[in-house]
Amino acid sequence: MRSLVAAVILLAAAVVDTGTASAADPIYQDPSQPVAARVADLLGRMSLDEKVGQMTQAERNAVSAADLTTFRIGSLLSGGGSAPSPNNATSWANMYDGFQRAATATPLGIPLIYGVDAVHGHNNVVGATIFPHNIGLGATRDPALVQRIGRATAEEVSGTGIDWDFAPCLCVARNDRWGRTYESFGEQPEIASSMTTLITGLQGAKLSDPGSVLATAKHYIGDGGTTGGDDQGNTQISEAELRAVHLPPFREAVARGAGSVMITYSSWNGTKTHGHKYLITDVLKNELGFSGLVVSDWNAIDQIDGQPGFTATEVRTAINAGLDMIMVPAEWRSFITLLKAEVQAGRVPMSRIDDANRRILTKKFELGLFEKPLTDRAFTPSVGSAAHRQIAREAVRKSQVLLKNQNGVLPLPKTASKVFVAGKSADNIGYQSGGWTLTWQGGSGPTQPGTTVLQGIRSAVSASTTVTYNRNGTGIDGSYQAAIAVVGETPYAEGAGDRTGGMGLDSEDLATLATLRASGVPVVVVLVSGRPLDIAAQLSGWHALVAAWLPGTEGNGVADVLFGDYRPTGALPFSWMQSASQQPINAGDGKTPLFAYGFGDRFPATQNAYALIGASYYDEQRGTQVERCTDSGCGQNVGYLTPGDYVAYADVDFGATPPTSVVTRLASGSTAGGTLQYRLDSPTGPLVATVPAASTGGWQAWTSRTATASGATGVHRLYLVATGGTGGDLANVNWFQFAR
């Protein structure tokens, strides 16, 4: 290909990067002319071959540079995992420029438009920033953040030359069995509608601005409503429901100026949408006023008649229904031949061909491709930049949904002496990124540069904290402050991701969790998944549950919430089933969920001093350790406090009236003697109470001691400090509770 590209460079020079036009140039080559005038002028100069070529989109691996020039092909795409070698931003830019030079080496010099599925960042490119999938962004309820993600994605896409993004997916997923649920912002249309800010981020103030790319609202319409959650299935609902649930996000996308719309594979009441003139022309183009280009999905016109191999009838039906560009990755020659014959036979009117070309060419002019068809290399260094990764980390932490937090186990203390981490997804960027990451179905392992959840945990804790990782939980004992289990689904994309049977955790995850629970250590479950899972039967055995969705490359955003640098703010974008048998389950359908749509727990602003506070739920410590109590139901205790050791508890609220006493549950086998002191705001702060740390007869011989308390009102950091004695261990503490 490269030798041919070199041969056509001189011919292409007349139409590449000129930026200006002389008085003798055609109107379409004059950037000072209105876009409509330029389109009309160019359209009048085009042959049928050129017009049909503009309506053709081929896969990069199925064409040569000579094909682009000879057949006047208007568009290329990279399918999932289709990339140049080596796969890096510069290679992509070089590939794009080579194709673009070939496309413009024609008498009319019409540039191509190149599309990719950059659905959570520029996910086909090694080194790109991978943002959370849409389900996580829906949990943020933050349209402004999503707009910034759109802008960051557009810059990375632009830096590789690409000018068209097949995003955002505005599907409203109504059955979690669907393998594309994670591509949905949520089960209600208002979430997807609000997140159309991604379009604004991708396209910028105007398409010709540097770093702007064409956005695609997909998949029109009803793909999230198929019976049984069947991918590419049949959406069997009334028109009223179609309009109420599935149309609003597209209406909002059109209002925001989305440049393109992609049609869904699925059917509406038995009719494939790719051949549905009412939905495409009457509703989308006429009723909603969509003036951009309508593109098919991958080989989707071949499904119109339900038989393999697309036919002249399918081509005619799709174009007459209102499709403007057809994605025919490998069979583009056949498509060109069939469409041309249909036009010549009068079965596809030339007015329809001209309308399609007018829409396509308008976007190419608006993008500035005629003046600057080659990669804007100023954006190439932005691919995977630190600034974009910071946005992704922010998105990850805002997407975390806290579903359970028994006894306030979260946030975990950064100063814990020991934390155990387990689970197959804890140290696997491929798993935490999900499908549509480098390959269509996603992968396992270090598929992209970034930070795993485990690495995020290691960087969050203090230098003195030991973090032990074992995938299956082997090696855990009762001496750990907590066990963090990062479990859930392995990657998948459409089709392969449909779950027609059970929707629970796999056998490996269940075995890992059983091992952790047997240790007696509080279990914190971080669920990495593309949808709610059937976990009700296991939930009672977990102290905390966080839905992390598919966070992408910045796993440190998960640790930001686990260790309290940021409080959880996420809210469920889907109703969480009590069991898979409830599917489909959606707000307002009368079914009782395990967790309701919109639910998201929060860390309490304060702790109640007059409620029982577990000693092991500290957030700061010096010199202490935890161990498993031997008493039945005792849980964990802070063990072997030595004079000078302390534990601290944030935001303990004593109210307006000071306490009069405190009960401390402790055990001691010490002969040293000493005291446990409660102090405010620092280890040497105002003294509230003093408890004798005399022997109880053994380190697990528990007794409750009551001491006088006074002088504490309002909210304080409370310190429990070991003091006195002769330097030996003084006591273990299980819990304490103030009274007044």
Residues taking part in catalysis? 297
DSSP string, 390-416: HHHHHHHHHH-EEEEEGGG-PSPPTT-
Q: How many residues does the chain have?
A: 740
Q: Give the integer Cα–Cα distance in Å for 209 and 195.
A: 22
Q: Which of 569, 540, 736 shows the shortest CA–CA distance to 648?
A: 736
What separation in angstroms does the CA of 345 have from each of 316, 337, 338? 11, 12, 10
Distance from the first to the final alpha carbon of the chain: 84
Q: Are strands 234-235 and 75-78 parallel, antiparallel or unpaired?
A: unpaired
User: Are 659 and 610 a contacting pair, CB within 8 Å?
Assistant: yes
- Edge-to-edge strand ranges of the sheet holding 271-272: 234-235, 267-268, 271-272
* Beta carbons of 329 and 62 less than 8 angstroms apart: yes
In 3D, which of 341, 349, 364 has the Cα closest to residue 113?
364
Alpha-carbon gap, residue 132 to 130, rounded angstroms: 7
Q: How far apart are CA 46 and CA 52, in angstroms?
A: 10
Q: Residue 137: name the closest of 314, 391, 348, 365 by CA.
A: 391
3-state secondary structure of 427: coil
CB 684 within 8 A of CB 711: no
The values of phi and psi at residue 485, to 5°, are -105, 115
Q: What is the DSSP letter of 522?
A: P
The first and second tokens of residue 27, run together, are 């109107």
3-state secondary structure 439-507: ECCCCCCCCCCCECHHHHHHHHCCCCCEEEECCCCCCCCCCCCEEEEEEECCCCCCCCCCCCCCCCCCH
Question: Which two structure tokens, joined as six digits, stand for 136?
Answer: 């996580």
Q: Helical H runs in 327-412?
A: 332-344, 350-366, 386-399
How far is the C-alpha of 239 from the C-alpha of 179, rounded, in Å?
Answer: 24
Q: 694 phi and psi, to 5 degrees? A: -65, 160
Residues 6+ apart with CB under 8 A from 59: 76, 77, 78, 79, 82, 329, 330
Closest listed residue to residue 129, CA positions, set 391, 489, 427: 391
